[in-house]
Structure 1
């Protein structure tokens, strides 16, 4: 994989096959269709279900401001050539701690193509190089090991499991944590 290319003016991150870009209002319909999926809902912490067009629009409305204010970077995962929307990736910016939590979802019809891993690697490289993060961390439900595989492929290290940490869908879920320290930073 080539290194990611960040365009400050376009607010885009380009990798081998993908362009990570700000969501547009015109993406809302596709977002609502992809997220109105029980298989995505059950493996995410805070995604509502059912997921309406209004949910998508209210989610997208603050992305540009969050990016401009360095609060959070919430980007669409799209095909570099066709522009097809595959999913979303976001990372918080905890400036006082010099770290952030990365999260992502991929539309079910695009699972298994490596888009989540490629997007996550590009996003991690972006915050390490461009935003000077010291650390990135992520968490997933133990019942969703595919998300953990993405974390491992990005070089993240298993840090621990919080037993019965989340109550969702009438049962308790273990939460598994991973993290990575910026390899380019000197302590």
Structure 2
């Protein structure tokens, strides 16, 4: 992982994590206006409009500069193709943050979420000096849990019937990792 503080980017073997710009809004809209993505995410609206994308992107730079949230586009390092998004919240009072991500359905199964998540853990622990990073997923989305396991996170618990999505109660599965547990 190579972090550029001035460019606000993180580089991995295949990916460039960078801040979103307004020009990403059409592609974000295309990727997010997908029922299969919606049903696996906590806050994504559906249908997803260009206004949703613009509203979401609008505060990313301010959030980054104020150390509130770090929200990056997951892009191909060579072509610049947008694959998804990854974010890390900052809870300075507790010295921890939540990792969250989504990848467009057409790019599922390529390891992009895992590669980006590993880089975000390094960013959290090396650059931001977090003590802990946690993440959560719906029990109906075990692929997200596999990403968390691949990056060394451990299952910490299940909040049963914690969220209602489409008139169905869903369990939220929590994973976490401490800074000294990373390799």
Q: Which of the five TM-score ranges fits, normalised by the shorter chain?
A: over 0.9
Deviation >3 Å, runs of 4+: none
Q: Secondary structure at the match of 1:97?
A: coil
- Map 1:149-168 → 2, pairs under 5 A: 149-168=146-165
* C-alpha distance in 2 between matches for 1:154 and 1:51: 30
Distance 1:101 1:64 in 2: 18
Residue of structure 2 equivalent to 1:112: 109
* Residue aligning to 1:69: 66
Residue 55 in structure 1 maps to residue 59 in structure 2 = no
- Structure 1: distance between partners of 2:142 and 2:171: 11
- Corresponding residue to 1:171 among 153, 168, 173: 168
Q: Deviations over 1:160-181 (max 9, x none)?
A: 1111111111100011000000
Trace 1:118-157 onto structure 2 (pairs within 5 A): 118-157=115-154
Flag structure 2 segments of 5+ consecutive residues without an equivalent: none
Unaligned runs of 5+ in 1: none
- 2:173 aligned counterpart, secondary structure: strand
For the aligned residue pairs, the C-alpha RMSD in angstroms reads 1.0
Give, in angstroms, the shift of residue 184 of structure 1.
7.4
Whether 2:91 is the aligned partner of 1:94: answer: yes
Residue 183 of structure 1, CA deviation: 1.5
Instruction: Give the secondary-structure state (helix, strand or coil) at the position aligned to 1:152.
Output: helix
What TM-score do the two structures reach when normalised by structure 1? 0.96
Aligned equivalents of 1:153, 1:183: Cα separation in 2: 16
Matched residue, 2:6 = 9
Deviation at 1:157, TM superposition (A): 0.3
